[in-house]
Amino acid sequence: EDQVTQSPEALRLQEGESSSLNCSYTVSGLRGLFWYRQDPGKGPEFLFTLYSAGEEKEKERLKATLTKKESFLHITAPKPEDSATYLCAVQVRRDSSYKLIFGSGTRLLVRP
């Protein structure tokens, strides 16, 4: 069964304190691994897509990496505005659908 697990469930950081979020997955036919940011009451905002093991992508203070079984979202010197829930999702192909299977997210709080 396709499964995505994110850890930790919640993370509190001081401003400037770097850390990493983990996303582990067991799927067959992976077409891509996606990271989204979600603010309270809003829809997920697309951040990155990773396609193959060893791939890395960066955006401002965020860097995403991918191995064969997990992905990490590294946050360098976070600011309070980085506080949000970060969602990881894997894309699988079933017939013609490329649906996303999400983890439960990591709620990040960055204190000034």
| Pick 78 or 103: Cβ nearer other proteins | 103
Locate tokens 């994110």: which residue? 6
Token pair listed for 30: 């992976």
Q: Give the nearest distance from C-beta 100 to other proteins in angstroms.
A: 6
- Output the smallest distance, CB 15 to other proteins, in A: 25
- CB nearer other proteins, residue 14 or residue 28: 28
Q: DSSP of 63-90, one letter per residue?
A: EEEE-SSEEEEEE-S--GGG-EEEEEEE
Q: Does 87 bind other proteins (CB under 8 A)?
A: yes
Residue whose C-alpha is closest to residue 85's, from 21, 16, 4 = 21
- Cα radius of gyration rounded to whole Å, the chain: 14
Using CB under 8 A as the binding rule, whether residue 28 contacts other proteins is answered as: no
C-alpha distances out from residue 29 to 63, 77, 103, Å:
24, 35, 17
Choose which of 96, 108, 109, 112 interacts with other proteins (CB under 8 A). Answer: 96
Stretch that binds other proteins, among 11-19, 55-63, 69-77, 100-108 (CB under 8 A): 100-108
Nearer to other proteins, 14 or 97 (CB): 97
